[in-house]
Amino acid sequence: MNTPTSAPMGTRANTPVSTPYYEDVSPGSGALPPRARYARSDAMTLSLNGKWRFRLSPTAGTADASFAADGYDASGWDEVAVPGHWVLQGHGAPIYTNHLYPFPVDPPRVPTRNPTADHLRTFDLPQGWQPSGDAVLRFDGVESCARVWLNGTELGEFKGSRLPHEFAVGALLRPGGNVLAVRVHQWSSGSYLEDQDQWWLPGIFRDVTLLHRPEGAAGDFFVHAAYDHLTGRGTLRVDSAVPGRVTVPELGVDLAAGAEVSVPVEPWTAETPRLYDGELASAGERVALRIGFRTVRVEDGVIEVNGRRILFRGVNRHEFHPDTGRTLDLETMRADVTLMKQHNINAVRTSHYPPHPDFLGLCDELGLWVVDECDLETHGFTEQGWRDNPVDDERWTPALIDRAARMVERDKNHPSVIVWSLGNECGTGRGLSAMAGWIRERDPDRLIHYEGDPSCADTDMYSRMYASHAEVAAIGRGEDGGPPRRGQLPFVLCEYGHAMGNGPGGLTEYQQLFDTHRRNQGGFVWEWIDHGLTHPVLGYAYGGDFGEELHDANFVCDGLLFPDRTPSPALAEYKKVIEPVGIDAGGTAGTVRVLNRYDFTTLSHLLFEWSYEAAGETLGSGVLDVPPLAPGERADVPLPAPPDTGQDAAESHWTVRALLADGTRHEVAWAQLPAAPGQRAAVAVPESGGPRRAGELVTLGPAAFDARTGELRAIGDTAVRDLRLDVWRAPTDNDNGADPVTGARSGQLWREVGLHRMQHRLDAVELSGTALTVRTRVAPAARDIGLVTVYRWTSDGARLRLTVSVTPEGAWAVPLPRLGIRFALPDGADSAVWCGGGPGEAYPDTRAASRLGRWESSVDALQTPYVRPQENGARADVRWAAIGGVRVAGDPEFWFTARRWTTEQLDAAEHRTDLRPADREVWVNLDHAQHGIGSQSCGPGVLPEHRLRAAPAEFGFVFTEEPTL
Ligand code: GAL
C-alpha cells in the first residue's frame, strides 16, 4: 500500500515514491475492525499454534512471495514453534537496547538488513466445523509487521506487535487442506513506535486462532457494570453490535442487549474480586461474560473506586520468560498473578503494551487493579531532541489511534482494567492527544494515564517515574508547582524503586509518603522480572551477550523476580513494606496496635498469632483476638502475660503475625516488638590471662597470632587467615548508577579513590599484660586519606575479644561502602547459624523484611544470585553467628556475610557462572556498618540517613570455638 509522498513543509521528504507496506506509516490494511475479546463462546475455534515451516531471509526483499501460493513445497524448510520468537529458536539473535533504536533513525524507513521470516502451515478444518457462517483468523501478537495469505489469497498486512489483528477468511476456507502463509519482518515503521526498554524479539509470539463465526454470531459488545456505593446497587448494560439477550442467573437478570438494569450486588475490587457469570446470547452464538461491578472516578483530586480512595501497591510487568521471551503460557501468567497476590501487590501496570489477553482474565479473577498500557514508545527520539517524533506528526496519527482502539476494544470488558495508559516515554504531541480523545469518547468510565507530558493535558492523574522522596513529599503537600490543572490531579509513581540487582533501597520511606498524603496514591515498582535469557554458558544472558553493536548491558535485569521467577530479596522487602495490616506497639504497655490498611475489606479474613521469643527461641505462642476492624480503623489489642523465660538475661520480643484464616495460613503481615532488652550474649570479657609469646606465635586464650605481624592464625582448631579491616564491596548496580542531581556514581568514585585496593601498613604490634594490640593504617595508593585502625585483642581464657577502633585521616569526600572486618576460613564451612536478622539479605535501607530469629543456612544459600554478580547476602542485626568452628558475638550487633569467593572475585564477575569456588575456603565479613543501597541505577540515591560516612568508630567481636560446626 502506498502513502502520500508529499510531506508537510519543513520536514524531510524521506519516503520513497513506492513505499513498501512495512515502511509506510499506516497501521496496515485488510484487517477487521477491532472488537471485544472473550474467553469462551460456543462457537468453534481451531488453534493454529504448533510447528510451522520456517525460512529466514536477510532482507525484506530477498525471497519472493511464491511460498504463499497454493501447492508450494516447503518440506525442505526448517521448523519453528508458533507462538515463539525465531531469534530464540536458533535463527539470528536477540538484541537488547534500552532506548536507542538499533537502526538509523530515519522514520519511517528501516534498514535493508531486515530479517524476514516466512512461516507456513497447513491445517484441516476440524470435525464438526460448520460450513455456514463466516470465519475469522486471529493473530494475538506478531513482532513487528506481518503479511498474511490464506490458500494463496492475500489477506492484508499489519503492524502493532502486541495487539490483535483479525481477518475475515470464511470464503477462503476449504474443507480439506488449507495453507496459511505469514511473512514477518523484524523491522517496520511500527518499530519506531515500539522502542520499549526490552529485547527486540521478532516472531509470531502469541496465539494464532481460527474462529468460526456462525450465522448470527455475536459481534463487538461492551459490558457497562457500575457500582453505586451509596445504594449498594449495580447497574448493568451490555451494548452489543448484534441484537442479543443478556442473562446473569445469580442476579436474576435477563434483559435485551442495550437495556439497563439496576440490582443489588457485591462490588468488584482488587481485594474482593467478585465476578458474576453471565451470558450474551445472539441468534447464533452464546458468549460467556464475567461481570465485575465497579465505578472508578477522580473525586476531589483523588482516584476512587466504589467511593473509596485506593492505594496502588503496584508493579510494572513486562511479559517475560527466560526461554521463550514474550511468549507466555497460561501457567506462567497465573504464576505471576499468584505471586503478586501472595506478596501483597494489588496493582499491575502492563508496561509497556497490552499483555496476552488471558492475563487480564486472571487479574479479574484473582484481583489486581490494572493500568493497561498501549503498545507505544518512541523513546529513541530523545537522542535528537524529539525531532521527527511520530507522536507529534499527524501522518502517524492513524497508526496511534489504531493502537489505542485495538487495546481498548480488546480489553474493555475486564473489570480489573481501571486505567488506560497511552504508552510510555514518547515525549509529547498531538498524536497522544488524539489517542486520549478517542479513548475518552469510547470509554468515558475509565481514567487515562500518561507519564511523559508534565502538563497532564490529556490525563486524569499526575504521573512520574523515579521522583525522589523529597519531591514526592512536595507533590503530596501540593507544593510542586506546575500548571494549575496538574495541581488538582491525584499523583501516582508509574515507576519507582528500580529493582536492578541488589535493591531497591528506600521503599519504606516512599510508603510513608503514600500513607501521609491523600494525593499520593502509591506506585508501581520497576519491575516485576529480570529479563535474563537462558544461556548455555553464561547462565542468564543480558545485553551484549549476543554480540550486539549497541546494547545496554544488564539494565534489562531489574526485576523483583530472577529470570526463573524465584523471588529476589527485593520482593520480600516490598511485600513487607506494602503489607495491608499495620502492627505496632500499642499506646499502653502490654498491647499491640493493629491498623487495617486495606482499602475495602475488614480484617475478618485474617487470623492473628502471637509468639514470644527469647534469645532466638520461641517460648510461647497463641492466637490474638483482633476485632474485625474496618479499613483505616485501628485498635490496641492486649498481649498475654509474657511466658516465664527462666532466662532473665535473655533478649526477648513479641512477634505478631496476620495469617490468612482460609487454611493456607499464608502470612500477610507481621511485626516484632521488643519485650526485654536482655544482655547481649558473651560480650563482656574480663581482661585476664594476657598474650604469651611462644616462638613465632603469640597465644591469647583460644587464639594463636603471628608474633611478628600480629595476624590472627587460629581460634582453637580453626585456622583463620587475612583478618583485617575491610571497606570494599563489589559495587551494586545501584552503586554504579548516576546520581540524578550531581551525576556522581558511587562505584566509580570509590574506585577513583582506591577503596578496592586499600593497603594495610603495620605500625606496631604491642603485647601488654592483658592485650595484644596491632596498630595499622589502611589507605589507598596515591591518596592522602586513610583509616588509622587499631585491633585490640583480649581474652578471658575461653573467649577472645577483638575491639577495632577506626579513625579517619584526611578529607573523605566519598561514603564508605562498608566498615568492618573480613577474614578467611581456609578449611571452609558448609553452613552457618546465626541469631539476628533473617532469613534473607538486608542492607540499611532494605531491611524491613529482616526479622529477628535463629537462622541456619548453607553457605551457598546465603548468596543472592543476582544475574550480574555484585555485593549481596548480608544478614542484619546479627547478635552472634557460628561458622566453620568459630562462633562470633557482636558488640554491638553486626552485619554477617559469608561466601566462597572474595569480594574482588565477586567484583570481577560478570555472570553467575564466573563465580566458582576455588577450594574449600570461605570468606567472612563482619560489618559494623554498611552503606545503604538506594535506587540510583535509575532514580534517587541513598537517603542521607542511610549513607555511611567515614567517621571515628569502635566496634567489638567476641570469638569462641564452636566445635559442633
Ligand atoms: C523507564 C522506562 C522503563 C525502563 C526503566 C529503567 O524510564 O519507562 O521502560 O527503561 O526506565 O529500567
Report mean pLDDT in 10-residue bins for the chain, 965 residues. 31 59 97 97 97 97 89 96 98 98 98 98 93 94 98 98 98 94 98 98 98 97 98 98 98 98 98 98 98 98 98 98 98 98 98 98 98 98 98 98 98 98 98 98 98 97 98 96 94 98 98 98 98 97 98 98 98 98 94 98 98 91 96 97 76 96 96 83 64 95 97 97 98 97 95 98 96 98 98 95 98 97 97 97 98 97 98 98 97 97 98 93 98 98 98 97 69
Helix 569-577 vs helix 507-516: angle between axes, to the nearest 10 degrees? Answer: 20
Q: Is residue 612 within 8 Å of residue 651, measured between CB atoms?
A: no
Q: How far is the CA of 494 from the centre of ligand 1 (A)?
A: 10
Q: Is 195 in the pocket of ligand 1 (CB under 6 A)?
A: no
Helix 357-366 vs helix 397-411: angle between axes, to the nearest 10 degrees? Answer: 40
| Residue with CA at minimum distance from ligand 1 atom 11 | 938
Q: Which atom of ligand 1 is nearest to the CA of 424?
A: 8
| Residue with CA at minimum distance from ligand 1 atom 9 | 197
Q: Is 558 in the pocket of ligand 1 (CB under 6 A)?
A: yes
Strand partners, 247: 254, 279
Which helix (H) or strand (E) segment is 411 a member of? Answer: helix 397-411
- DSSP 8-state secondary structure symbol assigned to residue 735: H
CATH of 221-295, one of 2.30.40.10, 3.40.50.300, 2.60.40.10, 3.40.50.2000: 2.60.40.10
Neighbours of 769 (CB within 10 A): 9
- DSSP 8-state secondary structure symbol assigned to residue 118: E
Residues of the chain with CATH 3.20.20.80: 298-577
At residue 679, the pLDDT reads 66
Q: How far is the CA of 397 from the centre of ligand 1 (A)?
A: 24
CATH of 298-577, one of 3.90.76.10, 3.30.465.10, 3.20.20.80, 3.40.50.10540: 3.20.20.80
Residues of the chain with CATH 2.60.120.260: 21-213
With a CB cutoff of 8 Å and minimum separation 6, the contacts of 817 are 727, 728, 729, 731, 735, 746, 750, 755, 871, 930, 931, 948
Q: Are strands 233-240 and 78-82 parallel, antiparallel or unpaired?
A: unpaired
Of 221, 196, 276, 239, nearest to 41 by C-alpha is 221
Q: How far is the CA of 383 from the centre of ligand 1 (A)?
A: 15
- Cα separation, 253 vs 265, in Å, equals 12
- Cα separation, 353 vs 193, in Å, equals 11
Q: Which atom of ligand 1 is nearest to the CA of 555?
A: 12
Which helix (H) or strand (E) segment is 362 a member of? Answer: helix 357-366
| SS3 assignment, position 101 | coil
Instruction: Tell me the C-alpha to C-alpha distance, in Å, between residue 179 and each of 48, 71, 958.
Output: 11, 8, 77
Q: How far is the CA of 589 from the centre of ligand 1 (A)?
A: 47
Question: Among this protein's residues, is 495 annotated catalytic?
Answer: yes
Q: Is 424 in the pocket of ligand 1 (CB under 6 A)?
A: yes
Mutation pick for ligand 1 pocket among 97, 197, 378, 525 (CB with most ligand atoms within 8 Å): 197
Q: Is residue 844 within 8 Å of residue 930, measured between CB atoms?
A: yes
Q: What are 289-292's contacts with CB under 8 Å, separation 24+?
A: 289/38, 289/223, 289/238, 289/246, 289/248, 289/413, 290/39, 290/361, 290/364, 290/365, 290/415, 291/223, 291/225, 291/236, 291/248, 291/415, 292/225, 292/267, 292/268, 292/364, 292/415, 292/416
Strand partners, 338: none
Taking the domain 692-828+898-909+921-961, which CATH number applies? Answer: 2.70.98.10
Q: Is residue 909 within 8 Å of residue 731, measured between CB atoms?
A: no
Q: Is residue 400 within 8 Å of residue 435, measured between CB atoms?
A: yes
Considering 279, 319, 373, 425, which one is annotated as catalytic? 425
Strand partners, 28: 158
At residue 648, the pLDDT reads 65
- Cα separation, 557 vs 545, in Å, equals 13
- H-type helices in 798-863, by residue range? none
| Residue with CA at minimum distance from ligand 1 atom 4 | 197
Q: Is 327 in the pocket of ligand 1 (CB under 6 A)?
A: no
CATH class, domain 582-674, is mainly beta
Q: How far is the CA of 15 from the centre of ligand 1 (A)?
A: 31
Q: Is 936 in the pocket of ligand 1 (CB under 6 A)?
A: no
User: In a 10 Å sphere around its CB, with 0-12 CB exposed, 13-18 middle and 19+ buried, how is residue 153 labelled?
Assistant: middle
Q: Is residue 884 within 8 Å of residue 857, measured between CB atoms?
A: no
- Cα separation, 392 vs 107, in Å, equals 13
Q: Is residue 883 within 8 Å of residue 922, measured between CB atoms?
A: yes
Q: Is residue 68 within 8 Å of residue 154, measured between CB atoms?
A: yes
At residue 63, the pLDDT reads 79
Mutation pick for ligand 1 pocket among 99, 554, 938 (CB with most ligand atoms within 8 Å): 938
Q: Is 530 in the pocket of ligand 1 (CB under 6 A)?
A: no
Q: Which atom of ligand 1 is nearest to the CA of 451?
A: 8
Which helix (H) or strand (E) segment is 360 a member of? Answer: helix 357-366
Amino acid at 918: A
Q: Is residue 510 within 8 Å of residue 523, measured between CB atoms?
A: yes
With a CB cutoff of 8 Å and minimum separation 6, the contacts of 785 are 753, 779, 808, 809, 810, 811, 812, 950
- Cα separation, 347 vs 269, in Å, equals 11
Residue 131 region, left (φ>0) first, then alpha (ψ -120 to 50), else beta?
Answer: alpha
With a CB cutoff of 8 Å and minimum separation 6, the contacts of 771 are 687, 690, 691, 792, 793, 794
On whether the 21-213 domain is CATH 2.60.120.260, my answer is: yes
Q: How far is the CA of 843 from the centre of ligand 1 (A)?
A: 24
- Cα separation, 874 vs 896, in Å, equals 5
Q: How far is the CA of 463 from the centre of ligand 1 (A)?
A: 14
Q: Is 194 in the pocket of ligand 1 (CB under 6 A)?
A: no
Q: Is 685 in the pocket of ligand 1 (CB under 6 A)?
A: no
User: Which grid coordinates are listed for 4?
Assistant: 502520500
Considering 409, 451, 495, 579, which one is annotated as catalytic? 495
Q: How far is the CA of 197 from the centre of ligand 1 (A)?
A: 6
Q: Is residue 837 within 8 Å of residue 886, measured between CB atoms?
A: no
Question: Among this protein's residues, is 365 annotated catalytic?
Answer: no
User: In a 10 Å sphere around its CB, with 0-12 CB exposed, 13-18 middle and 19+ buried, how is residue 631 labelled?
Assistant: middle
Residue 687 has φ and ψ, to the nearest 5°, of: -90, 80
Residues of the chain with CATH 2.70.98.10: 692-828+898-909+921-961
Q: Which atom of ligand 1 is nearest to the CA of 351?
A: 9
At residue 3, the pLDDT reads 31
Q: Is 465 in the pocket of ligand 1 (CB under 6 A)?
A: yes
* pTM exceeding 0.95: yes
With a CB cutoff of 8 Å and minimum separation 6, the contacts of 336 are 317, 359, 528, 529, 565
